[in-house]
Structure 1
């Protein structure tokens, strides 16, 4: 089962409207009644979405002892499509038209013949679809954490997540909302009674030549300040290099962090493109500092974080706060059951959020942020090569 073995990758959604105090047989029955593959169709346009037990692509068996672990439901969603690829449809159409053209005095098919060719292709599509030759199945793991009202979706947000979320909302009568950097910041601000301060924030200019009111990669359909995710990674980079590698958290614990393995940066003006740096510690390489001095912002970063004796490796996507390639470090003699695995996933998510909250606390405090921003600009300026300064 994906969330219980190997490395982790997920995006999160908040769950509202689930009124049961726990997962029980009633919810297992919902999964069973909506299992993948129960309703087949030969339609070339249909998309079928259903639940899986989680063990494999054809697992239709559900049980509380198997799928309810540590107050969380673990299962999968399978998306079946039965669609003839556009390139194949076009090839079949051209073959039909070529046949008509050979028998035409003008060497070109007539309007009526074009219509007949299209009808012939549609009939062929129906025959081919009925054979199942072009059926495609995709499986996406789900972990629904009841206590935290959070769904962990083991895939990238897009069409696949939309199908999965629609299935969950329909069958369990709940409402789900994607958790991004901006959503996390807004929820923190509400809980901390700082929403007005957060609501006034605009993207910061870390380099004077790169002032921007918005980011080219921003979600135009969202009002959440997801740009804070990019600023967070740059702030974290500066903090770890200049302040301390240990940051105090709001719950009176602390987290030790370092950048590791990979770093992706992009120009907020859309001028100088994107670059990805791969190294044991990418922020130590001169090209990384050169990128941020030129105005680029982090969009994705590999991190190693340690909190309360538990170490995680992960890659964090700045705006969505999606986590990929996450590994949970274990002691050699440590016994790690499925319940422990679920708790570790919770700890990972909580740690990343609390670290981000520490940034939000600074960012929404005008005096504290002006101080940090001034020092960050000085840091970037001091990092400029001597020869480049002399030329200026």
Structure 2
């Protein structure tokens, strides 16, 4: 099996993860309790891409707007469309990140890291510039670990007996017995 076939075969996991993460973010008002980390703020905002079908019969739906305006995306879930891409704001500790996450290959797009530089430091020397670059790399690694921890939580639930109960709650949240299996 080549890489493209493998990605296609397993893409449902990323789509399920985005749907589950959206549900979990609304379950406790945006806060998700992540083992070993505590509460993480997860807010879906402004942009979501949903897909339905395969091959030539593939349809895409783009929903834009504030979190409260993602009603169209929620209705698409009822019609068995699956989230393929979502704009997400994450906050943990003192850091707040914004990222567009794609489901198929967990690609990070349009990453916005926390601001770390004061305007007065803009014209600083080379060492200061290197320090800022290293700090930005560390923040990107923190974002990656945060997404990894959320995905680990999802996989642990998905691979356990807890998934049946979680699936019932997700279907209730969507408002139908949809295609999320």
TM-score by length of 2: 0.79
- CA deviation after TM superposition for structure 1 residue 219, in Å: 3.6
Name 2:147's counterpart in structure 1. 352
State the distance in 2 between where 1:304 and 1:243 align. 15
CA–CA distance in structure 2, aligned partners of residues 269 and 317 of structure 1? 17
Cα distance in 2 between the residues matched to 1:319 and 1:289: 20
1:254 CA drift (Å): 3.1
For CA contacts below 8 A with separation 6 or more, give which structure has more relative contact order: 2
Structure 1 residue runs of 5 or longer lacking an equivalent are 1-217, 383-392
| Match of residue 279, structure 1, among 56, 65, 68 | 65
Q: Deviations over 1:287-306 (max 9, x none)?
A: 11211110000000000001
Shifted more, 349-358 versus 372-381: the winner is: 372-381
Shift in Å at residue 348 of structure 1? Answer: 1.0
Deviation of the 1:272 alpha carbon: 6.6
Counterpart contact for 2:47–2:65, Cα < 8 Å: yes
Provide the C-alpha distance between the structure 1 equivalents of 2:83 and 2:167, rounded to a whole number of angstroms: 16
Deviations, residues 141-162 of structure 1 (Å, cap 9, x unaligned)? xxxxxxxxxxxxxxxxxxxxxx
Residue of structure 2 in register with 1:328 after alignment: 113
Structure-to-structure mapping, 1:29-44, within 5 angstroms: none
Moved over 3 A (4+): 221-226, 268-272, 331-336
Structure 1 or 2: larger helix share? Answer: 2
User: Using a 3 Å threshold, how does the CA distance of structure 1 residues 351 and 224 change in structure 2: closer, same or farther?
Assistant: farther
Larger-gyration structure (1/2): 1
Q: Which of 350, 364, 369 pairs up with 2:163?
A: 369
Asked if the contact 2:117/2:132 (under 8 Å) is kept, the reply is no
Q: Which runs of 5+ in 2 are unaligned?
A: 122-130, 177-181
- Tell me how far apart the structure 2 counterparts of residues 223 and 279 of structure 1 sit (CA, whole Å): 29
Residue by residue, what CA displacement relative to the aligned partner does 1:164-198 show, whole Å, maximum 9, x if unpaired? xxxxxxxxxxxxxxxxxxxxxxxxxxxxxxxxxxx
How far 1:363 moved relative to its partner?
0.7
1:259 and 2:44 correspond: yes
